[in-house]
Every structure is written in structure tokens, then in C-alpha cells.
Amino acid sequence: MDPQHPDASQTLLITLSGRDRPGVTSAVFRVLSAAAVEVVDVEQIVLRGRLVLGVLVTAPRDWRRLVEAVENTAAGLEMQVDIERGVGDNTRRRTGRCKVTLIGGPLRAKAFAAVAGRIADSGANIDRITRMARYPVTAIDLHLSGANTDLLRTLLATEAAAQGIDIAVQPASLLQRSMRLIVMDVDSTLIQGEVIEMLAAEAGCEAEVAAVTTAAMNGELDFEESLRARVALLEGLDATALDRVYDAIELTPGARTLVRTLRRLGFRFAIVSGGFSQITDRLAKELKIHYSRANELEVVDGRLTGRIVGDVVDRAGKAAALRQFAADFGVPDEAVVAIGDGANDLDMLSAAGLGIAYNAKRVVREAADTAVNVPYLDTIMYLLGITREEIETADEAAGVVTPAPPL
């Protein structure tokens, strides 16, 4: 018999459940140690104060005596125990491993049942379930084996729309644990609203500019042509309007938390915008973002000329910037996470290892690897395997005050 893979007939699966309190696990393992068994597998979870402990051990010669000792220990702890003999290890998992992240506000049982059904329909198996966050949204990770990632994405995209939740499907990869580069759009992604519309309000042409912006973000107009046309309407605007607009900008909820937390883990950040460097460079400095690229408004004698200096950062320009930033940082494109909402972000999202449509236009949601439609940018971290509890613990250690969770 291979000592690393005991024969199923020579194992015991012990499952203990009941009210959690200190000392339960140690009490069980004291009994097991007295029988000189080997631990083959062990998992433990605590859910709302209830503990479930599963231990797979080799069966000793006098296994009935061990069963009796474990049952007596469980009774003394006022816990329930189930012991099954002859259970095989699950180390030989099927190929096709991936992670499915569900995000809902709220996440209803009906939606969870529908997702589990589609996973079963695809032939995949749910091996493990973990909670990533319980507020302000609920985020749950499902770890699967035997999955066809492309098929699963198609099935779950339809289900996500039907159930009103967000679902991300990612192949299991070491990249999820590596230092990565985050490349973000700015308008309606990192910040709320569109800077060009705010400038247009200063120039008295907000409605006209907003209509063109919407069409461009939906992919109905050529981005460069539409941008030059909108900027032309700003001709003569006093450059001090840029300061007023910057002061009025509101970051997307969770933006500071996202940057602060991932910087601690060695991530690099870049912002790539079809907007204007007079705004984005200041945002990058304020948020300690490493790289920034945007269009430059021409200013002469303190006034906007209605023109852009140099080439326009358009759809192709955003993807080119992503690749350059990745090369500068020394990571492959597969290690890049891109986040955007408009049609001019499509090439950038496609170039990244993980492209996320954030509260995006329909054409973007349909093309991206995954979509997030809740108004919290830090939700992105759940897709990267970081839990809300870990975020708050790190903030607490750094003296950052976070709101208390609901009971």
C-alpha cells in the first residue's frame, strides 16, 4: 500500500458538528494521536457559530476502539459525530479546475440553485465553497473540477442575467497568487461620471456633449472623431475650469480601498483614459497610481483651444498602453487585470488576462471575461481571491477605520 494514498478499506472519515468553542479540534486530535493514526485529509469550517470538522485518517488495527473513543469525546463536547469506514481520499481530482465567483446584493437561494444546476449540466463538480464577503454584497467562491471553462462561461452568463447577479469564471492558475498589474479606465470606472461632460457644463454645452459621449461609449460612433468634435465645443473655456472639475470629481465607492489594499500586495496600477491628462495625472498622484496615460487638452494663454495635443488615446491606444505598462513592469499580458465600461475599452479588456466590464455598456458586458454590476469597485478584489475580512484586518493594522458590518 502506498503510504501517501491509503487504501479506502483502511481509512475512517470522522465528521463532527456542533456549537463552536475553543478546544474542540484539539480534543478530537488528542484522541486520534493516542491511536497513532495518520492524517490523510482534514477540513474545518465555522458558519454562524456552528463548527463542521471532517478528518480522514488511516484506520488502526483496532478501529472499533477508536470509533468508540471519538464518539465518547463528541458526547462530552455535546456535539454530533458521524464515522464512516472505507472512504477514499480525494487527491486524484479531475482536470478542468476553475473558480466561479458569485456576487449578489443580495444573493438569493434561487440564484444559487440555478447556478449549481448549470454547473452540474456542464459536467463539472463543486469541490469546495468559500465565502469571500458578506457585505456590502455577498460574494461566494465555488472551486470546480471537470469544467469546460468556455462552456461554463456561456451557461453562467445567461444565468447571471436571468438571476440579476454577477458571475466570474476563471481557470485555476498560479497567476491568481502572483503580483499583477491592474489597468483601469477612469471615467465612470475609477470615478463617477464623465470629465468631458463636467467641462461641457462649464462651457454651457453639457447636453450636446453628453449625447455624443453616450453614443461613443455604446460603440455607435468612432471614438476619435467623436472626441475631437466634443473637445472643439470647449474652445475658449478658461483653463481654471479644469481645477474646478477636478475638485468636483467623486471617486467610485471602494476605489481607494482597491488601490490601497493591492498596493500592499505588490500590485502595480495604471490608469488609461480617453479623457484628459490634466485630470488623470493629478488622480494618479493623489491615489499613488504608478502609470497614467490620457489625452492632453491644448491650452494657450490660459484658455482651451478646442484641440488635443498629439495622438488620441483611442480604443487601440488603450490596448497599446496596457501592453507597454505590462512590459515596463515585467509581467506577461496574462497577469494583467483590465477594468472598463465603454466600447473604447474593448481592446484593452481583450488584451488582459482578465478583462472586467464594470457597470458597463451592453456591448462591453457581452465581450468581457466577466462583468461586475455593483457600485463598489473594491468588489474586484473578491475575483482575485481576497476576502473582505482580509481587507479589513489589513486596514485595521494600518490604522484605517472601516464601517462596522451589519449584524
Phi-psi region of 33 (alpha: psi -120 to 50; beta: other; left: phi over 0): alpha
Residue 57 in contact with residue 12, Cβ under 8 Å? Answer: yes
Strand partners, 213: none
All three cell numbers of 154: 456561456
Residue 100 in contact with residue 115, Cβ under 8 Å? Answer: yes
Per annotation, catalytic residue among 20, 141, 166, 187:
187
Per annotation, catalytic residue among 20, 166, 185, 341:
185
Of 343, 369, 342, 346, the closest CA to residue 356 belongs to 369
Question: What DSSP element (H or E) covers 167?
Answer: strand 166-171
The verdict on whether 185 is a catalytic residue reads yes
Residue 104 in contact with residue 166, Cβ under 8 Å? Answer: yes
Could you count the other beta carbons within 10 Å of the beta carbon of residue 233?
20
Do you find a cis peptide bond into 106, omega within 30 degrees of 0?
Answer: yes
All three cell numbers of 317: 491606444
The verdict on whether 141 is a catalytic residue reads no
Of 214, 114, 236, 225, the closest CA to residue 164 belongs to 114
Strand partners, 237: none
Active site residues: 185, 187
